[in-house]
Amino acid sequence: MTTHAGPGPSLAPASGAAGGKLILLGEHAVVHGEPAIAAALSSGIRVTIVPREDDLRTVDGEPAGDARLARAIAIAADRLGLGSERGFDTAIEGDLPEAVGLGSSASLSVALVRALAAASGASLSGDALAEAAHAVEGAFHGTPSGVDVTTVLHGGLGWYEVGPPRRWEAIVPAKAIDLVVVVADRRHDTGRTVGSLRERATAHPGLYRPLFRAIGELVREARSAIEAGDRERLGEAMTLDHGLLRACGVSTPALDTAVEEALGKGALGAKLTGGGGGGAIVALSADDAERLAARLDRPGRPAFPLRVPAR
């Protein structure tokens, strides 16, 4: 982290916002060099920066209760050239469920960098914004693949490879993709889940490398299906992907139950989405996503429809 001799640029009240993301296929394997397909969400997070007259950096007027959030704010401020003498308050609001695999950390990271850039009058290029947001997300997840921040910044549906360099390529579906997201399990710690799988894969590469390669092949098959408008083939790839993620040890009984229920109620495919170890599933609707969402929604387990439009 860069150390600044002075307080850096002055600040003015400003806000920044960003949406979330949904990984359709490829989570976890993407960390190990395989591709992933992800879609941006309209739900997201807004960050508002208000200057303080002292050198404190607060959240809603109080010291940050989460050490990771405090570190994220410090990293973002450093990237914007703000010395430690420059204090400000950070207010965070939004409609994106937290810690369930829908990119809340990436959304917060991008929104925070945008807000501080606006507050300090900085003009960031697309690459500079991306690199700053990737660095901030590291405060939450250690060494993330980058798919979350990249998807948030690009929007739409796309193909991602971790690289280096990172690669994003837009995917245009031949037919609209109607999905249902179900927040099926307790909050989870993505960094811990990813790190645990990384340790197991390092210790037993002969067991896990074939699983990651198989997930990569499903991602390639899914892209072909999306571009051909073959929903049944896409759904089958999604369900097979869940089976492989379950074999990797990142699913939970609650996620497995939600997947089986979605399939039993007519979904063409279903799988966990995000880091696993809790969180959400995504189901591919055969026709009416709103009706499938209503069938899957229940108290304490919300479900909502999402459409990825066709070309």
Summarize pLDDT for 50-98 with one digit per residue, the tens. 999 999 999 999 999 899 999 999 999 999 999 889 999 999 999 998 8
* DSSP strand pairing (57-59 vs 88-94): parallel
pLDDT at residue 2, rounded to an integer? 46
Q: Express each pLDDT in 190-238 by its tens digit.
A: 777 777 888 999 999 999 999 999 999 999 999 999 999 999 999 999 9
Q: Confidence band (pLDDT; 50, 70, 90) for 7?
A: low
Structural contact between residues 155 and 42, judged by C-beta atoms closer than 8 angstroms: no
Task: Give the residue-averaged pLDDT of 243-263.
Answer: 96
What is the model's pLDDT at position 188?
A: 62
Backbone angles phi, psi at 119, to 5 degrees: -65, -35
Q: How confident is the model at residue 1 (pLDDT cuts 50, 70, 90)?
A: very low
pLDDT of 122 above 90: yes
Give yes or no for residue 4 having a pLDDT over 60.
no
Range 177-308 has CATH code 3.30.390.50: no
- pLDDT, tens digit, for every residue of 136-178? 999 998 778 899 999 999 999 999 999 989 999 999 999 999 9
Q: Which residues contact 213 (CB under 8 A, 6 or more apart)?
A: 29, 34
Average pLDDT, the chain: 93
- Report the C-alpha gap between 51 and 12 in whole angstroms: 6
User: Would you list the domain boundaries of the chain?
Assistant: 14-170, 177-308
6 — pLDDT class (breaks 50, 70, 90): low
Cα–Cα distances (Å) from 153 to 20, 168, 252, in that order, read 10, 10, 30
The pLDDT of residue 47 is above 90: yes
What is the Cα–Cα distance from 80 to 209, expressed in whole angstroms? Answer: 39
User: Can you tell me the mean pLDDT for 19-40?
Assistant: 96
Range of weakest confidence among 8-22, 150-164, 193-207, 247-261: 193-207
* H/E run at residue 18: strand 14-25
Query: What CA–CA distance (Å, rounded) separates 57 from 284?
Result: 43
Q: Which CATH number fits domain 14-170: 1.10.760.10, 3.40.50.2020, 3.30.420.10, 3.30.230.10?
A: 3.30.230.10
* Per-residue pLDDT at 258: 96
